[in-house]
Amino acid sequence: MYSENSILFSPKKTFLFDIGRVLLDFDFESSLIRLIPKGIDKPDERIKQVLQYKDALECGQTSPVYFADLALRVLESEATTEQFYQAWRQIFTVNELMWHCVRKLANNNHSLILISNINAIHCPWIFTTYPEFSYFEHKILSFEVGTLKPEPAIYQYAINQYQLNPAETIYIDDQLQNIATGQEFGFQCWQYNLNQHEAFEAWLTEILTTGQ
């Protein structure tokens, strides 16, 4: 684990955190498969087809009701819209190691901001289900701002909305293409891997200790 002193005595920083596979792991397939009746052909391909439409939901171009109706037709499911919403939400697993970091950062007055490709089925449900999201002062949610990572517009929105200095802002995301855009804006970036959390903590210690 990174040292307490690296947080306690470092200048206050601003952190941009992704949600998926950083704060929460997720698995759509295991949840959605339960909606498909037995005997329906190619269930895995049907789920992949549903997920191909996810970007439209996450950038606010389509409504939850429309998306649920489309998904249920693709899956040939007899589930209700509400049952689809429940399945769509039951995909998350808490990454407790990262939340331990979040708590320490927040308790030592570092500024925490979410920046996530996410949708109106998951929000605001996710924030009431996982109340520790209250550690985050601000939330940049793709379906609200109408653009997805890695598009530059969402990063520019973050900079403008919260008057960020990219050189003093730490950005954590699991997707290489998102990190690449973050680096173009000058953020201090880390591509997070759930299976290599110790590497992240070592980097975080260095960032907070050196102030770079």
| Predicted pLDDT at 8 | 47
Q: Are residues 85 and 115 in the same domain?
A: no
Task: Return the amino acid letter for 211.
Answer: G
Is the omega angle on the peptide bond into residue 37 within 30 degrees of 0, that is, cis? no
3 falls in which pLDDT band (50, 70, 90)? low
Q: Are residues 134 and 169 in the same domain?
A: yes
Q: Are residues 111 and 197 in the same domain?
A: yes
Collect all residues with Cβ–Cβ distance below 8 Å to 52 and sequence separation of at least 6. Answer: none
Q: What is the pTM of this model?
A: 0.94
| Predicted pLDDT at 1 | 53
96 falls in which pLDDT band (50, 70, 90)? very high
| Predicted pLDDT at 195 | 97
What's the total number of domains in the chain? 2
Mean pLDDT score across all residues of the chain: 95
Q: Are residues 113 and 154 in the same domain?
A: yes
Q: Are residues 57 and 21 in the same domain?
A: no
Q: Are residues 21 and 35 in the same domain?
A: no
| Predicted pLDDT at 4 | 53
Domain interval for residue 143: 4-25+93-210
Q: Are residues 148 and 206 in the same domain?
A: yes
Q: Are residues 34 and 62 in the same domain?
A: yes
pLDDT in tens, 106-142: 999 999 999 999 999 999 999 999 999 999 999 999 9
Give the C-alpha separation, 168 to 202, whole Å.
18
Q: What is the DSSP string of 78-138?
A: ---HHHHHHHHHTTEEE-HHHHHHHHHHHHTT-EEEEEE---TTTTTHHHHHSGGGGG-SE
Q: Are residues 116 and 204 in the same domain?
A: yes
Q: Are residues 128 and 200 in the same domain?
A: yes
pLDDT at 210 > cutoff 90:
no
pLDDT at 2 > cutoff 80:
no
CATH number at residue 163: 3.40.50.1000
pLDDT at 149 > cutoff 60:
yes
